[in-house]
Structure 1
Amino acid sequence: MRTLIALLRAVNVGGTGKLPMADLRAMAEAAGFTDVRTYIQSGNLVFSSSEEMSVVRAALEQRLAAYAGKPVGILLRTADELQDVLEANPFPQAEPSKVGVLFLDAPPPSDTIETVSGKDCEELALGQREVFIHYPSGMGRTKLRLPALSGMSEGTTRNINTVAKLVKLAAE
């Protein structure tokens, strides 16, 4: 049995994708996962499973699609992988709420940083399957676009505070 973290994409963002966390927990439990917990209303799920990642993803995607009537993107990480992301933060001196981690299914292209548009004061760094972005003026004000990622499956962003909280929940 291992602890996994599912990061759902486009849940409770801008009034779309409404999914009560109680419903998400119920779906995870119905899929046979244990120690199911959620964190805040943006689709962060911590749970235990002995299944392969592909089986876990398929089980969640099936239930979420049935609930939402459309596919819901899911990014999965083990507790250790999420801990590694937290430790790899290249902007440790920045305010944690202004450091975003864009989680992806695959490594970002090596030219990701060179192809951004709308960059102002943001700083970027590539991770294993993440892009770290420091938003000194805040995430809500950025015009930053990452065209190098357009051919990849869509990702989802969490700030470092959320990543740290998920790491803590996964360790409990």
Structure 2
Amino acid sequence: MRTYVALLYSITLGEGRRVVMSDLKAMAEGLGLKNVRTLLATGNLVFESEKISVAGLEERLESAFEQTFGRHVDIIVRAAGDWCKLANGNPFPSESVEAGDQVVVRVMRKPVAEDAISGFQAYAAVDEKVLLVGGDIWVVFSRERPSSRLLAAANHKRMGIGTSRNWNTVRKLAEMTRA
């Protein structure tokens, strides 16, 4: 058995409806996934499965989600080792200690090309930082600005399918994969 992390792009089903984590866990268990656990109420799963391709797991989870909840949601899956590599590759360690909720990684289904990141960096404010590490986009958001132009610029059309998690969540998911 191998351990995996799955991240849902959105857990909002429509006006006033959200996915309850116990229902998400039951959905994953219904697929035969083992030792399924969730982190927070934000669509994060850690589970064990027979060795299968990440794309195969994404497809199975997305299909089950749509059947269970009536809406398609993109789901990004990483093997535990790849998730720990992502966490260990955090390019902003001091900022993460100071403000883990302001350091975010956009975990991508397909790696972002080096040349695409420069256009994205143009949206960063003076006190924001953007780096591409292993095809994923790391951002330090400004504490001074309630909104950032980077949020709108990180859409699926421009950057591809991905979903963002703050450093606190990334770190906790890494810990869960080792448990």
The two structures share one fold, judged by TM-score above 0.5: yes
RMSD of the TM alignment (CA)?
2.4
- Comparing 66-75 and 116-125, the one that deviates more: 116-125
SS at 1:57 equivalent: helix
The alpha-carbon distance between structure 1 residues 82 and 13, as it changes in their structure 2 partners (threshold 3 A), is farther
CA deviation profile, 1:2-55 (whole Å, cap 9, x unmatched): 000000001149966611000010011000000100001110000000141233
2:157 counterpart of 1:150: yes
| Range with bigger deviation, 74-83 or 61-70 | 61-70
Mapping of residues 84-163 of structure 1, within 5 Å: 84-94=85-95, 95-116=99-120, 117-120=122-125, 121-137=127-143, 141-144=147-150, 145-146=152-153, 150=157, 153-163=160-170
Q: Provide the secondary structure at the position in 2 that maps to 1:161.
A: helix
Residue 97 of structure 1 deviates from its aligned partner by: 1.3
Tell me which moved more, 62-71 or 137-146. 137-146
Which 5+ residue runs of structure 2 have no aligned equivalent? none
Classify the secondary structure of the residue corresponding to 2:149: coil
**SS at the partner of 2:176?**
helix
Residue 167 of structure 1 is matched in structure 2 by 174
Distance 1:23 1:160, change over 3 A: same
Distance 1:17 1:170 in 2: 29
Q: Percent identity?
A: 31
